[in-house]
Chains A and B, each alone.
Chain A
């Protein structure tokens, strides 16, 4: 599997570290349901069979965090963007 890094171009996936689902959002700790919201944020996952937005860190390259859209059935990557800087490509 080669990941087309937004900065470095296509690189082998051994250069990257995987964190997981990029769609979960840290909830508001002041919200009344914060306990449940933090549980869901830390533990529950959609785990889709198909398109998955996920965080990869290019540790052996540009050291960018990337949001990669990848099909979990085929490992085909359809989109890569920087996780920081508002997700510009």
Chain B
């Protein structure tokens, strides 16, 4: 069913009795051309673009739980393309362009809101670094504006401009950045893939990968064996576990990142604002809750929950940026598993195993990448060659030395 104002009117007149489920609960078949492991945003986007852009529709998406229940349902919903390095920025700007046309493309309201992303700077050196970043963004076709203190004050007068230690000198603004409704992104891709024939199979955990003569043959799952010509892994924090089934050892550590939502308040903040003197970012959801987060906890974890010191650190950063936050109560907090790579950038590539493809290393920035990640991964799987936008995101870059390290932090995942 195509969603439109006409279908809405028709159903309003019929008492909303004609709506059908947005996707089928598919049963696994014995064989698929492509099996995507991981029913999050990236996996479903990959299946969607495989069907839509490459005409490959004998595809299954296997999800061990329910779709969108991992990081796709646990992020702070920010979309932006404000990276510095050529290997990254072109990719994220392509993602931004896909976001801009996404809702029309998959006929679903993903509530993409280009409300602007403002990165604050607090020193002359940081201003220079942001000017350079803005120039890099513009060179790659993205938008960036360097704002002075007065312009930031006009945008967000409630911030602590006179903070003795970290006065706000200005900010780098990407007006096209903003937020999207994370669950709706998952549902939109699921629906778009399903209508094109993709089987979305939930509660189906992969327990083994059968490889013969260096080539994948089939997958063992909790719902039986499934043969596949090609397998794509898009399992984020569980990458090491699933890849180990194929004997792969990867440059990935799984870390926990916490995020926070306050009680719902009236509209207070109309863009995304990030603190430049600590790691803190904040926006407001359409329900009124302030959505914010900061650093990862910093140690290997598969526990889906973090610890108090990071919560305290995030709150302190929030208070330094916006003292008024102290009058608002934190409502809830959660943790997700980040697939932290060794250089802080993702991997979309073939593996040493024939027919097995890898999509991982999103660190804590995977949500904004969802459309381009799916687009480039689908291209890689369909044509067996990297998409030009993700050509630098190779698995062997740690060996060749062509790492993409935005922060220059080195091979230390908890510092990215």
CB within 8 Å of B: which residues of A?
1, 12-14, 18-21, 36, 39-40, 42-50, 52, 54, 70, 72-75
Contact = CB atoms under 8 A, between A and B. Distances in A.
Contacts of B163: none
Interface of B: 238, 240-241, 249-254, 298-303, 307-309, 312, 342, 398-399, 411-414
A60 to B, nearest CB: 11
Q: Is the interface of B mostly helix, strand, loop or mixed?
A: mixed
A45 B302 contact: no
Nearest to B241: A49
B295 to A, nearest CB: 12
Contacts, number: 69
28 contacts: A1-B307, A13-B309, A14-B309, A18-B299, A18-B414, A20-B414, A36-B399, A39-B398, A42-B342, A42-B398, A42-B411, A43-B251, A45-B250, A45-B252, A47-B240, A47-B254, A47-B300, A49-B240, A49-B254, A49-B302, A50-B302, A52-B300, A54-B299, A72-B254, A72-B300, A73-B303, A74-B303, A75-B301
Contact of A44 (B241, B250, B298): B250
Which applies to chain A's interface (DSSP): helix, strand, loop or mixed? mixed
Contact of A47 (B250, B412, B414): B250
A58 to B, nearest CB: 14
B309 A46 contact: no
Nearest to B238: A49
Contacts of A74: 303
Contacts of B312: 14
Contact of B249 (A12, A13, A36, A45): A45
Contacts of B308: 12
